[in-house]
Structure 1
Amino acid sequence: MYRKCKKLYSFCLIILFIGVCSIKASAKQDTYKAETLDELQESISKLVAKSNTPGAGVVIVDGSKTILLRGFGKADVENNRNIDENTVFRLGSISKVFVSLAILKLQEEGCINLKDKIRDIIPEIKFENPWEDEHPILIEHLLEHTSGWAYWHFAELGSDDPTPLTLKEALDFYPKSRVSNFVPGTRIRESNVGIAVAAYIVEKVTNQRFEDYMQQAIFKPMGTKSFDFLYSKQYKENGVTLYDNGQRLKYFHVLYRPAASLNGSMRDMEKLINFFLHRGEVNSQQILSKASLERIERSESMPILSNTKMLSGNGLSNDASIYNGSIYHGFSGSLPGAYAQFGYLPNQNKGYAIMINGDNSDYLLSNIAYLIKHYQTKDLKKDLHKVKKVAISEAVDPSGYYTIINPKIDFFGFLDQIKAIKKIWVHNDTINVKNILKSNYVAKYTPISKKEYALEGSNTPSLMVNDDPLDGQIIISGGFLKRISPFWAYSLKTIFWAFYIVNLSTIFFAVLRVLIFAFGKKKNKTALLINIWPFITSCFVFIVIAIAIFQGTTRYDMFQLWGTLNIFSFLCFLCGIFYALSSLWSAYFVISNYRTDMSKIYYGYSFIAVVFNLIFTAYFICNGLIGIPTWI
C-alpha cells in the first residue's frame, strides 16, 4: 500500500499535465561522513538497507591498490544469491564512454578525426541539421552531446527486441530523433542516438560489428572478461536481477546498445578506473595515448563554451564535477532497475565505481558517491586555486526570468519549462536566483569573470551568461535557459497550479450538483450539465492517471506503455483528443447558457473552469501533447 500511495503521489505531480512519468522528489543527501574504511563500509551497508535496495557493488581504488571491492546485499533476492566480484551489473550510459574510446583509438590510427563531418563518412545515415552548411555536425559533436539531437523518444524506449538488431537496423528504426533542435556546438543535450551513430562510424571504418571491434581493440587489451553489450551467456549465469517498485524485471534489450546496454562486473570496473588513472596503459601496453585520455576529459566541440571554466570539462561522454575542491571525471548510467557511476581523480590517482540493482537507486547512488568522495578527498590538497572575484558592475547582468530550452526528453518539455522557471535579480552586489515554482530558497552568486558566477563561498562557476544564436542572452545553470517575460513566467506558474485545482474541484462541484438535482425540488437539467461538463472534461485526465498508475508500475512498464501501440496507449491517445473536444464543447455549453436560473457561485465556478480548460488545451496543443501518438 505504501508503494502504491507513493507512486500515486509521484504520478499525480506530472500526469495531471497529461504527463506519464513519475517524479520523485529529490532526496536530500544524508550527512554521512566516513573517516575510516570500516566506517565507510558500515555507512554504505546502512544506506543499502535504508533504501530497501536489493544490492550494490562498490569499487574504490587508491593509488596502485584497490582498497575496496565488495558487494552489499543480493544479486537475486528470490534465489538468495549474493553479490560478488564476478556479479555482472547493467551499466547504462557508461556504455557511451567506450564509444568515445573506440573513436579515439581509430583517430590515433589515422582512420578518422574528431573534426570529420559525419555526412562525409556515413552519407547513408540521414539526419536534419538546418545549419549544416555553416555548422556541420562533426564526430565530436556526437560524443560531446552538442549535435542538437534528441535524447530518445518513447518509440525507441519501447523497443525491446530479443533478437540482436544490427546497428544500421536500429538506426533505421526511428530516424526522427536525428533532427538538430539547436545550432550544433552551442548547447549540450545528451543524445543516445548520437552515440549510436558514432558507433556506426566505428563499424563503417573498421568493417566490423561494433561489439566485435570493442572486444578486439578495447576489452581484450584492457583485460576485462565481462564487458559486453549483449545478453550474453555470462550475464545469464552471473548477472544481477533488476528490481523496480518491488517487481522483478526481465532483461531489457536496449535499441541503441552502444549507448546504454553495457554489462560489467566490479572487477572489470576496477580495470576501467585503472585504465584512466594510468593514462591508457595496461600491463605496460599503451592502449590509448595520454593525449587521447586528456582529450576525452575536455570539451572542444563548442567554440565559445568549451573555453569557459564551467563547461571545459564536459568531454567525450566524460563529465567533470568538483567535490571538496577536487575535480572528478567520469560518467553515470541507468536503466529500469539499474544505476551505475564511476569517477576518478586523475591528479590524485584515486577512483571509484558504484553499481546498483534497485528502483530507489538514484537516491542510493548519490549518497554512496557522497560518502566515497568525502573519504577520498578529506586529506587531499585542493586542485583549485583561489579565484579573484570581479566587481558586479563589470559582469553581464542576467536579471530577468528564464526557462529551460534543452529538456532531456522532448515529451516532458511542457512540464520542464514550468519546473525550471527562474527569477534572477541583482541585490547588494550579488546575483540572486530563485525558482519561482519550487520554494522560497534564494541562491546567491558572485561574479568570477565577466560572464561566469560562483555560489557564495565557492570558487567554482555554476552559472554563466552566454549569447545564443537562436534565443539571444541565455543563462546556463542546471540546463540552458532562455529569457522570458514576467507575464509568461507567472502565466506558466498559474497554469501549473490551476490545473490541479480545476481538475480536483470538478469532482466536488459535480457531486454537489448531482445531489442538488437528486434531492432538490427543482430539476434543472441545464444547471446540472453546466457543472457536469467540466467534470467530464477532467475525467479524460483521470483515465490517463489511472492507466499510468496501474499499467506503468515500473519504469520498464512505462517504456512499454507509451512506446508501443497497445490498448492503453491508444486509449490515452484518444483521451487527449476527447479532452480537447470536451474543453471546447463545455466552454460553448456553459457560455451559451449564461442565463440559466442557477446559483451564481455554481455558474461562476463552471465558467472559470471551462476557460481554464481552454487555456490548458491550447498549452497542450502548442507542446504537441494532443493528437500525437507516443509510439510513432
Structure 2
Amino acid sequence: MKTMFFNKEIFIKKYHFFIIVLFCFIFSSKAQQNDSNANLPQLSNEEIRDSIFTLLKSTRTPNAFITVVKKDSVLFDLDFPNSSENEKFALGSISKTFTALAILKLVDEKKLSLEDHLNEIAPEIDFDNKWESTHPVKIKHLLTHRSGFDDIHISSLIQKRNLKMNASDEVKTFKNSYVSNWQPGLVHSYSNPGYVILGYIIEKISGISYQEFIKNEILIPLEMHNSDYLSRINTSEIIQGFQIRKNVVENVSNPKMIGESAGGLVSTQRDMAKFLQFFINKSKQDSLNIISSSLIAKMQTLQSEFEIFNNINSGYSLGMYDRYFGADKSNFKGHNGSIDGFSSDFIFNPELNLGIAVSRNLFQTSNSKILNLLVDNFAKYDTLIESNQKDLETKLINIDEWAGSYKMLNGNNELIHFINAPAHILKLTKSGQNILVKRFLGNTEVYEWVKENHFQDKHGRSIFLCEFDGEKILSLNEDTLVKTTPFFHYSNLFFLALSLITGIFLTIVFLIQLVSIFFNTKAKKLSYLTFLVILPFWLIVASVILYLSNSTYHDLDNLGNISLTSAAIFTFTLFYPLVLVLGGFSLFKKWGTLKKSIIKIGYIITFFSISYLVFYCVTYGWFAIRLWNY
C-alpha cells in the first residue's frame, strides 16, 4: 500500500495564498451565519408570552414559572395568572446540581477530593464492585453517574420518607442498587442512589445535615431565601402538583422522597434567576466565593478518564450535562428534574450571557418547545466567539480497527433487558472518511468525520470510536457499546425467533386439540402433553405482560409491594423452568405412543426451542422475581 507523508512547511509555502483565501471564506461564512442567527425574527415579550401560554394550554399545564436572565438583569419572566414569583415548585433532579456544588465546596476547602475512593471515605457503606482493585468507585464517578450502580429499584421507589430518617438510613434504603454492573468510569448510567450517597458524605464531613449545609453554604449566599427542601417546609407552601392519568388531569399528593440530595429541592422563579446568574457572572462568583471560579469551570467539563482519553466532548459532567436548544442547536449546560406533580429544567451558557429556568406543575412533561422558543428569541449569537475551522493536522483515526458488530451494555436496573437486548445491536462499517451504522431492523445511518475519532450524523448525533483497557468501544449519544460476535448474535436471534414461532404455533395446536376432545376422547392425552410442553412459554409471556402493564409510574405499588400482581410474577418466573423439566419428562415418557414422525418432529423442535427461551430468560435474571424485595 502506498504511503503519503504530509510536510507542513512545503504545503504552506506552496498553497499559502489558497489557505488565506480559504480562511477568509470560512470566517466570512461564519460571520454571515452569526448575523443571520442574530437577525432571526424576534418576537416581543408579549408575543413570547402568548406563544408560551399556547404551548402550556396544549399540554393542559395548570401553572408554571419561567425566567430568562443575563448576568446582570432579568430579560423575561412569565406572569402566570393568579400566581407570584415566589410560588414554590418542586424541582426534582435539579437538586443534583446543588449537591455537586456542595461536594466541590468541600473540595475547595481541602476536605475531600474528586479522586477519593468511596470505600475509603465511607467504608461503612456496603457496595459491590468486582473491579475495585483496578477500577475503584470514586467520588467523581458518583457525581457523573459512572459508578455502574443501578437506579432506584421498585421496592425502594414506592417508599415514603420518614421524618426521623437520617442520611445513613436513606443510604440503606437503596442498598439493592449499590452494585457496579461495569467497571466504574466506563458507562454512563443514571443513578439517583449515587447522589444519595453524596448527600451522606456531605453530612459526614461537614458534621451538619445535608439540607442545612446547602442552606448555609449555597442558598443563603445566593440570597435564595425562598428555597429549601421538601422535608423542611410545610407541604401547603408548595403549589399543587398535577399529573395526567388515563387522559384526565388529576391532583397528586405533595412529593416526599428518600434521599433529598438526589431530588428534594423546592424553589421559586426569583430564586432560580439568581442561581442562573451565579453561573454566567464570573464577578459574582468571585465576590460570593461559594467555590472558586476554576471549580465552577470544572463542573462544566467532563471528568471520567474514559471521556478524556477518547476526546469525548459532550455528556454529564459534575451535576450538570450538555443540552442543545434553538434553531442552531446551541450548547448549554444544565439539568432537568421530574418529581410527583412537577417537570423542570434549567440551562445556561456564559458565552451567550443567557440562562433560562422553566418549571411547571405537571408531571412527566417536556419543556423542550418552550426552551427552544426562548433560546431563539434571546440568544445573541453575534456575541459567541466560536471556530468551526478544522485543524489542518487533524488525523483521521483508523476506522477499520473499529469495524464490526457491537452490543449496547445494559441500562440501569432494567429487569426486562432480555426483551430489548437482541435489538440493541449495530454494525459499523467504513465508507471513505465516514462511517456507516446499521441498527437491527433499521436503516443505515451515515456519520461524517468531524475530527480524529469523532463522527456526526445530519441530526447532530455524535459517535466516538473509543478504547478502554485495550478494547475497541463505541460511545454513541452517551450509550456505550462493546464488540460482539456476529455468529453468536444471529444464532441467538434465530433461536429466539424459532421459540416464539413454535410457541405461538403449539398454542394454536393446543386450542384445536381442546375443541377436538368433544369429538374424539383420545385427543385428551395428546392435549395434556401439548399443555405441559407449551406451559413454560405461556408462563414467560404472562409474567412479562403483567410486569409491563403495571410498570408505569402510577402503578408501581402493584409491583413494589406484595400483591396479587407481584405474587403472580414471582410464581410464574419461579415455575417456568420447573415446568420445562416436567414437560421434557412427559415427552420422553409418551415418545413411544406418538405414531407419526411429523408429530414427533414438531414436539421435539418446539421443546428444544422453548428450552432455549427458558435458558435465555434465566441467564438474563428473569427467574423467581421478587419485586417487593427488588
Fold match, TM over 0.5? yes
- How many Å apart are 1:435 and its aligned residue? 1.8
- Distance in 1, Cα, partners of 2:99 & 2:270: 20
Matched, 1:343 2:347: yes
Query: What is the aligned partner in structure 1 of residue 619 from structure 2?
Result: 622
1:207 maps to which residue?
Answer: 207
SS at match of 1:222: coil
Distance 1:94 1:593 in 2: 63
Question: Residue 58 of structure 1 is aligned with which of 62, 66, 69?
Answer: 66
Stretch of structure 1 that moved more, 420-429 or 129-138: 129-138
C-alpha change, 1:101 and 1:355, in structure 2 (3 Å) is same
**Residues 417-566 of structure 1: matches in 2 within 5 Å?**
417-437=421-441, 439-440=442-443, 442-456=444-458, 462-469=462-469, 472-478=471-477, 479-494=479-494, 508-518=508-518, 520-521=519-520, 523-533=522-532, 536-541=535-540, 543-544=542-543, 547-548=546-547, 554-558=552-556, 560-566=557-563
Q: How does 1:302-381 map to 2 (within 5 A)?
A: 302-311=304-313, 314-323=316-325, 324=328, 326-359=330-363, 361=365, 364-377=366-379, 379-380=381-382, 381=384
Spell out, residue by residue over 1:564-606, the C-alpha distance to the aligned partner (whole angstroms, 9 max, x if none): 3344322211111122323343344456545666898887666
Query: Structure 1 pair 464/326, CA: closer, same or farther in 2 (3 Å)?
Result: same
Deviation at 1:428, TM superposition (A): 4.5
The answer (yes or no) to whether the contact 2:285–2:293 under 8 Å persists in 1 is no
Displacement after TM superposition at 1:91 (Å) = 2.0
Per the alignment, in what secondary structure is the counterpart of residue 483 of structure 2?
A: strand
Instruction: Give the aligned residue type for 1:328.
Output: F
State whether residues 322 and 331 of structure 2, in contact with CA within 8 Å, keep that contact through their aligned partners in structure 1.
yes
Asked if 2 retains the 8 angstrom alpha-carbon contact of 1:269 and 1:353, the reply is yes
Gaps of 5+ in 2: 1-39
Partner SS for 2:220: helix
Query: Could you list the per-position Cα deviations for residues 223-250 of structure 1 after superposition, in whole angstroms to 9, with x for gaps in the alignment?
Result: 2234333244444233332314245433
User: Which is greater in Rg?
Assistant: 2
Whether the 8 Å contact between 1:129 and 1:179 is mirrored in structure 2 is yes
* Matched residue type, 2:225: K
The 3 A distance-change label for structure 1 pair 494 and 95 is: farther
Give the drift of 1:533: 3.9
Other-structure match for 2:137? 137
- Correspondence for 2:408 among 404, 407, 421: 404
CA–CA separation in structure 2 for the residues paired with 1:351 and 1:594: 74
Partner of 2:36: none
Count, aligned residues: 581
Distance 1:158 1:280 in 2: 44
Q: In structure 2, how many angstroms separate the alpha carbons of the residues matched to 1:53 and 1:220?
A: 31
Give how far 1:214 is off: 1.0
Superposed CA offset, 1:380-406 (max 9, x none): 546452335867674454221111125
- 1:244/1:336 contact within 8 Å kept: no
Establish whether residue 91 from structure 1 lines up as the match of residue 91 from structure 2.
Answer: yes
The one-letter code matched in structure 1 to 2:343 is: Y
Identity within the alignment, %: 23
Equivalent position of 1:224 in the other structure: 224
Shift of 1:195: 1.5
Using the TM superposition, give the Cα deviation of residue 482 of structure 1 relative to its aligned residue in structure 2, in angstroms. 0.8
1:334, 1:411 → 2: CA distance?
22
Question: CA offset at residue 210 of structure 1?
Answer: 0.6
Per-residue deviation at 1:157?
1.6
Tell me what 1:79 maps to.
none
- Judged with a 3 Å threshold, the aligned counterparts in structure 2 of structure 1 residues 588 and 383 are, in CA distance, closer, same or farther, namely farther
What residue in structure 2 maps to residue 611 of structure 1? 608
Instruction: Give the corresponding residue for 2:291.
Output: 288
Deviations 1:75-132 (A, max 9, x none): xxxxxxx665333333222111111111111222232232333333323223333343
Cα separation, partners in 2 of 1:325 and 1:502, compared to 1, 3 Å: same
Q: Does 1:260 align with 2:260?
A: no
Instruction: Give, in angstroms, the shift of residue 330 of structure 1.
Output: 0.8
1:359 to 1:92, Cα distance in 2 relative to 1, 3 A: closer
Name the amino acid aligned to 1:540: L
Cα offset for 1:265?
Answer: 2.5
Q: Kindly state the Cα deviation for residue 207 of structure 1 after the two structures are TM-superposed.
A: 0.6
SS of residue matched to 2:190? coil
Offset, 1:524: 1.0
Query: TM-score, structure 2 length as denominator?
Result: 0.81
Aligned to 2:577, which of 570, 577, 580? 580
- TM norm structure 1: 0.81
Summarize deviations over 1:450-508 as a string: whole Å, max 9, x none.
422222586xx811122223x82111103111111113333454567667656665654
User: How far apart in 1 are the matches of 2:359 and 2:602?
Assistant: 52
Aligned twin of 2:15? none
Q: 1:164 to 1:261 in 2, by over 3 A?
A: farther
